[in-house]
């Protein structure tokens, strides 16, 4: 059973705000929510992480409702260079009691001129 | 170096041969992760190290795959008797501790012919 669910793909245009929502109905009390970005032929890159409410950095904002069963990554005024795959992760405990990073299928964002 | 380093960047091997993939994490990072990414697909978790210990090896696809880490530093992923389905990009990441930002290397592109 998938830990997270997010749209397979999204399209947007330069200058628009893009919101990508991720569902994580079975999130555990200790889990953090983390988003990564991956360009072709590169390893993923950390974007933002949060536990609850709202987190903002120079790249994006992350909105997490009180029940934490979903989260929304918000990218303000996207440009062509934001075309990438975006992954939502929540912590997952291994058999040894440690958190491991499990990536889902991700959302493929295409930004058009 | 400042980032995660993986070697070789590309490896072409004949079916049935063994290969070793190396990962040099960021100095001081206690957590180290290995992933496999087939063309056009998401990241498949393989194994995770906390220090030199691997609490969870359940992601390794078969007993042909093994990994070790020494000195809480360099890690080696070994694939024995390679098969064509092993062809993929193998990504390594490290982080200071669990639930924190993970930094990825550029990956090793393995092609089994």
Q: Which of A98, A102, A105 to mutate to test the interface with B (most CBs of B within 10 A)?
A: A98
Is B40 at the interface with chain A, CB within 8 A?
no
Q: CB atoms < 10 A from the CB of A113, how many?
A: 6
- CATH number, domain at B77? 2.60.40.10
Tokens of B62: 């078969």
Q: Which residue's structure tokens are 């295409």?
A: A110
Minimum-distance CB partner of B98 among A87, A95, A99: A99
Is A44 at the interface with chain B, CB within 8 A?
yes
Minimum-distance CB partner of B107 among A43, A100, A105: A43
Minimum-distance CB partner of B56 among A87, A91, A95: A95
Tell me if A100 and B56 make a contact (CB, 8 A cut-off).
yes
What mean pLDDT, rounded, does chain A reach?
A: 90
Tell me if A43 and B53 make a contact (CB, 8 A cut-off).
no
CA distance A100 to chain B (A): 7
Count of domains in chain B?
1
A9-112, what's its fold? Immunoglobulin-like (2.60.40)
Helix intervals (H) in A3-96: none
What DSSP letter does each residue of A10-52 carry, written as one string?
EEEETT--EEEEEE-TT--TT--EEEEEE-TTS--EEEEEESS
Tokens of A87: 């992954």
Q: CB atoms < 10 A from the CB of B21, how many?
A: 21
Does the pLDDT value for residue A1 go beyond 50? no
Neighboring chain B residues of A45 at a CB cutoff of 8 Å: 104
Tokens of A76: 């303000």
List the domain range (segments joined by +) for residue B79.
5-112
pLDDT digits (tens, 9 = 90+) for B24-74: 999 999 889 999 999 988 899 999 998 899 888 889 999 999 999 999 899
Does the pLDDT value for residue A93 go beyond 70? no
């Amino acid at each position: 059973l998938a830990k997270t669910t997010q749209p397979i793909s999204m399209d947007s245009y330069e200058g628009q705000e893009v919101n990508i929502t991720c569902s994580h109905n079975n999130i555990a009390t200790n889990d953090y929510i983390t988003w990564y970005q991956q360009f072709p032929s590169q390893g993923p890159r950390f974007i933002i992480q949060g536990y609850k409410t709202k987190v903002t950095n120079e790249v994006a904002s992350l909105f997490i409702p009180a029940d934490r069963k979903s989260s929304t990554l918000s990218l303000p005024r996207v440009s062509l260079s934001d075309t990438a795959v975006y992954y939502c992760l929540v912590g997952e405990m291994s058999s040894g009691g440690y958190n491991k990073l499990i990536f889902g299928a991700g959302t493929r964002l295409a930004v058009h001129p | 170096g400042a980032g995660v380093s993986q070697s070789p960047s590309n490896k072409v091997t004949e079916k049935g041969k063994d290969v070793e993939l190396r990962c040099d994490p960021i100095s001081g990072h206690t957590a180290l992760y290995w992933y496999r990414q087939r063309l056009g697909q998401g990241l498949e978790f393989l194994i995770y190290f906390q220090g030199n210990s691997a609490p969870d090896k359940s992601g390794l696809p078969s007993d042909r795959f093994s990994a070790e880490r020494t000195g809480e530093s360099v890690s080696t992923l070994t694939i024995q008797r390679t098969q064509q389905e092993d062809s993929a990009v193998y990504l390594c990441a490290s982080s200071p501790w669990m639930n924190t930002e993970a930094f990825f290397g550029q990956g090793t592109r393995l092609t089994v012919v």
